[in-house]
């Protein structure tokens, strides 16, 4: 995710405003990395001088781990692919939105509650959400046509579809956002 988030940006059309590696000052004004960035702005080599600042790069990694990975309990998700997708979606669309997509996808994939019950789509990564993900993954033992990888692939497609639908809505309502 960090690799896809680029470097420093301060595009006036970007709704996130000033951003470094996906961390927007508008949404995270208290992030400790802003002190390093503000100090680096006096250099004629700005923003190129940011990439060599090891302390700043560590602040980025710590921020993402603390604010997203840990808060979302992603180490409890048995599929690294699914955890990575949820993480990436949360960074781009917010934790609550990412978790709601996850809950919605799991509800849609339970075959009318035959495999496990629907859950409330509240955007909270709680024990119920994790348990129902495990129940979904456990359906490989119930259906011969399923494998762990096919379940993951299906879930990822559902998550990506929900994410794309939101991006479509954003761009339809504000075409200037298509560049982002």
Cis peptide before 47 (omega within 30 of 0): yes
For residue 43, what are the CA distances in angstroms to 24, 36, 54, 111?
21, 12, 17, 59
In the chain the first and final C-alpha atoms are separated, in Å, by 15
Q: What region does 170 belong to: left with phi over 0, alpha with psi -120 to 50, or beta?
A: alpha
DSSP E strands in the chain: the ranges are 8-9, 19-20, 23-24
Rounded to two decimals, the pTM is: 0.86
Q: What is the pLDDT along the chain (180 residues), one digit of tens a residue?
A: 777 777 899 988 887 889 999 899 998 999 999 999 999 999 999 999 998 899 999 999 999 999 999 999 999 999 999 999 999 999 888 999 999 999 999 999 999 999 999 999 999 999 999 999 999 999 999 999 999 999 999 999 999 999 999 888 887 888 887 776
For residue 124, what are the CA distances in angstroms to 23, 93, 104?
22, 15, 12
């Amino acid at each position: 995710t960090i690799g896809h988030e680029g470097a420093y940006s301060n595009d006036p059309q970007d709704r996130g405003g000033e951003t470094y590696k996906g961390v927007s000052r508008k949404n995270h004004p208290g992030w400790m990395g802003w002190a390093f960035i503000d100090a680096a702005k006096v250099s004629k080599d700005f923003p190129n001088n940011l990439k060599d600042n090891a302390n700043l790069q560590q602040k980025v990694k710590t921020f993402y781990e603390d604010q997203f990975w840990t808060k979302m309990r992603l180490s409890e998700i048995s599929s690294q692919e699914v955890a990575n997708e949820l993480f990436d979606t949360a960074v781009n669309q917010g934790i609550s939105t990412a978790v709601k997509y996850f809950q919605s996808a799991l509800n849609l994939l339970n075959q009318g509650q035959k495999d496990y019950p629907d859950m409330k789509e509240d955007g909270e990564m709680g024990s119920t959400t994790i348990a129902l993900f495990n129940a979904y993954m456990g359906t490989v033992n119930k259906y011969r046509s399923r494998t762990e990888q096919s379940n993951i692939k299906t879930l990822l497609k559902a998550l990506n579809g929900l994410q794309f639908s939101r991006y479509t809505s954003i761009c339809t309502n504000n075409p200037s956002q298509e560049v982002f």
